[in-house]
Amino acid sequence: MSTWTETLDALVRERGSALYGYAFVATGDRAAASNLLRHALSRSFRHAPNNMPVDAAHAYVKREMQSAVFAGREFRDRRPLGNASSAATSSNAVHDAIVALPARERICVIMRVVDGLSSNQIALELDLDPATIRACVAAGVEQLAHTHAHLGFAPEDLDGGRDEEVFVVDARRRGR
């Protein structure tokens, strides 16, 4: 049986880079990404049982990151991980445009684009009302189309379509 510390070690070793990459996409800043990841790991492992599979831990941590960004928490005050000489932010125009969005809209757009989730699925992940998520996605895409028109963002590209899929709500989670 593995203890929670062994699970944490394995998670960071096997999935740490993926989680950090996601955190960086979500924050656009190395220090903020490091702190977001630390925060999510800390929150996830506070109650983590022994013998938790790495896959489950990965999902918990990712969801904590998404929730933290959605809640607008700031993580910009500590030392970043990784190569100190590398750029603190990305130089990718698309990413810069998304990072410039307010936190809620940003994480909704990222979950839509990177994770390929529908608004209903995002709502389930964040334990929020689907209407709230739809409004967030719409606002984010609209702002991107307005402020970064030269990048070619268009509402029909990022919104719609997936929500029409048949979707089964997990009643146990919704009932929490």
Partner 1 sequence: MTTDVRESLAEVATSARADFEHSDPADLTVPVMRYVRRYRATRFAASALGVVLVVSGALLGADALTSVRESAIEPDEPVATPVGMSEDEATTPWSTLALAAVTEPRAYGEKRIDSAAGMICHHSDPADDPRVAIENQSDPLGSELVVTAQCAPVWFKNGPITSDRNATSAITQTPASVSSATVIGNLSDRPLAIDGESIFMWIELAPGDFAADAPTAYPHALVGGSMWDEQGNISALLGSDSHPTRIIPGQYLVASGLATELDGRGPLDDLVASGANFTVTFWARIHEDSPHNGSSYLVRLGEEHIYGGLRS
Provide the binding-site residues for partner 1, judged by CB under 8 A.
Answer: 4-5, 8-9, 12-13, 16-18, 20-25, 30, 33-35, 37-39, 41-42, 45-46, 73-75, 77, 79, 81-83, 86, 90, 92-95, 98, 110, 113-114, 116, 152-154, 157-158
Q: Which is nearer to partner 1, 9 or 55 (CB)?
A: 9
User: Cα separation of 145 and 93, whole Å?
Assistant: 14
Closest separation between CB of residue 165 and partner 1, Å? 16
**Residue (of 115, 113, 112, 152) closest to 134 by Cα position:** 112
Contact 126, 70 (CB under 8 A): yes
User: Cα separation of 155 and 61, whole Å?
Assistant: 30
Closest separation between CB of residue 77 and partner 1, Å? 8
Token pair for 77: 């005050």
Q: What are the CA-CA distances from residue 90 to residues 13, 24, 33 (Å)?
A: 24, 9, 12
Closest separation between CB of residue 100 and partner 1, Å? 14
Q: Residue 101: phi, psi to the nearest 5? A: -70, 155
User: Cα separation of 152 and 146, whole Å?
Assistant: 10
Q: Which is nearer to partner 1, 90 or 120 (CB)?
A: 90
Closest separation between CB of residue 8 and partner 1, Å? 6
Q: Which is nearer to partner 1, 154 or 169 (CB)?
A: 154
User: Cα separation of 99 and 42, whole Å?
Assistant: 24
Q: Which is nearer to partner 1, 135 or 151 (CB)?
A: 151
Closest separation between CB of residue 144 and partner 1, Å? 9
Q: Which is nearer to partner 1, 20 or 70 (CB)?
A: 20
